[in-house]
Amino acid sequence: MKTRITELFGIEHPIIQGGMHFVGLAELAAAVSNAGGLGIITGLTQKTPELLAREIARCREMTDKPFGVNLTFLPTVSSPDYPGYIKAIIDGGVKAVETAGNNPQKWLPVLKEAGIKVIHKCTSVRHSLKAEAIGCDAVSVDGFECGGHPGEDDIPNFILLPRAAEELKIPFVASGGMADGRSLVAALALGAEGMNMGTRFIATKEAPVHENVKQAIVAASELDTRLVMRPLRNTERVLTNEAVERLLQKERELGASIKFEDIIEEVAGVYPRIMQKGEMEAGAWSCGMVAGLIHDVPTVKELIDGIMAQAEGLIRQRLAGMLG
Ligand SMILES: Cc1cc2nc3c(=O)[nH]c(=O)nc-3n(C[C@H](O)[C@H](O)[C@H](O)COP(=O)(O)O)c2cc1C
């Protein structure tokens, strides 16, 4: 399948693995790239630029295909060493960067000068147009269904994607709620040039996370995610557990006066405990509604080959057949 996204990144299939904190390590990124998609290492999971450089080198040992790095621009006071991370990306010869969070404008000239293609993740048409205007090569349009931060507009992909198609000139991928060949064909029909998946890639053999995390996703239904931190305007879609329900209780009780410090126990520093140690009640961790469509833990190659075969079958048989 050839689309503007496969052409842009030099990949075989129009499937991207979105950056995921404590999941997007070299093992997963390499597996996705080896299977013909675009694997992404999560920059900030590596505590220093030196560690990111090492992770990029490790990925390079496992694949000779293109892969990318995610840079999430957080609204934090103590800003990470972004110039250092960008230097590690450039020196490591990485040619694709997924940016997310705040506007990446400040960092675009140096990335572009190094010949790096930038795909910015946006949760609205307005932010997508901004990304286009500042010179991003593509956008990842992240609908309300998505795991992680869906923004504050709550527009699901059935509306958001065709709206993006109405306005954007640069190519975009559909993100949020994508799981299989049906998702890919639907995304293409709505105007996208491919899809980005997060949660689905966690439930794969190669994802370097504790088995408990994979089983929690397989066991979850589409009813099991919750939106936390909405009162802080930092909404995150997470899988429910005791810590999440406690957090939501605090949000109800404290109302508009709630501060980040009130919920720090449920959200700060929980990712290593969950992803590496499998302590599933440790706190809130991102997970999409798409968990309801995830029933197995295949290898990344089985997953991607299955998606492409299903998509081709849908297009050639089901859809073409309807035209008689
Ligand atoms: C566990 C987890 C951690 C994530 N961490 C990040 C992150 O650090 N930076 C980022 O830009 N997106 C992050 N995301 C969002 C994903 O890259 C992707 O946009 C999202 O998962 C798509 O929705 P889906 O889960 O329905 O496929 C994370 C998602 C999950 C599930």
Distance 159 CA to ligand 1 centre (A): 20
Domain's final residue, options 149, 173, 204: 204
Tens-digit pLDDT profile for residues 220-255? 999 999 999 999 999 999 999 999 999 999 999 999
236-239 and 225-228 beta bridge pairing: antiparallel
* Same domain for 265 and 129: no
* Same domain for 232 and 185: no
Among candidate residues 184, 43, 175, the one with its CA nearest the CA of residue 121: 175
Rounded Cα–Cα distance for residues 47 and 173 (Å): 29
Confidence at residue 151, expressed as pLDDT on a 0 to 100 scale: 96
pTM beyond cutoff 0.85 = yes
- Whether 162 is in a domain gets the answer yes
Rounded Cα–Cα distance for residues 261 and 249 (Å): 15
User: Which domain range does residue 38 map to?
Assistant: 4-204
Domain with 73 in it: what CATH number? 3.20.20.70
**Nearest residue CA, atom 11 of ligand 1?**
100
Domain's final residue, options 204, 230, 264: 204
Tens-digit pLDDT profile for residues 18-72? 999 999 999 999 999 999 999 999 999 999 999 999 999 999 999 999 999 999 9
- Whether 322 is in a domain gets the answer no
* Same domain for 196 and 221: no
* Same domain for 281 and 132: no
Confidence band for 74, pLDDT divided at 50, 70 and 90: confident
Q: How many domains does the chain have?
A: 2
Q: Ligand 1: which of 15, 16, 21, 196 to mutate, most ligand atoms within 8 Å of CB?
A: 21
Rounded Cα–Cα distance for residues 54 and 107 (Å): 22
Asked whether 244 and 237 are in contact (CB, 8 A), the reply is: no
Distance 148 CA to ligand 1 centre (A): 5
Q: Ligand 1: which of 275, 286, 303 to mutate, most ligand atoms within 8 Å of CB?
A: 286
Rounded Cα–Cα distance for residues 161 and 214 (Å): 28
Q: Which residues line ligand 1 (CB under 6 A)?
A: 18-21, 23, 42, 70, 72, 100, 121, 142, 145-148, 175-178, 196-200, 285-288, 290
Report which ligand 1 atom has the smallest distance to the Cα of 179. Answer: 27
Sequence-separated (6 or more) residues with CB below 8 Å from residue 142: 121, 122, 123, 148, 149, 150, 151, 175, 176, 196
Distance 141 CA to ligand 1 centre (A): 12
Residue 175, SS3 per DSSP: strand
Distance 318 CA to ligand 1 centre (A): 31
Residue 297 confidence (pLDDT) above 70:
yes
- Whether 302 is in a domain gets the answer no
- Whether 262 is in a domain gets the answer yes
- Whether 296 is in a domain gets the answer no
Q: How far is CA 177 from the centre of its chain?
A: 11
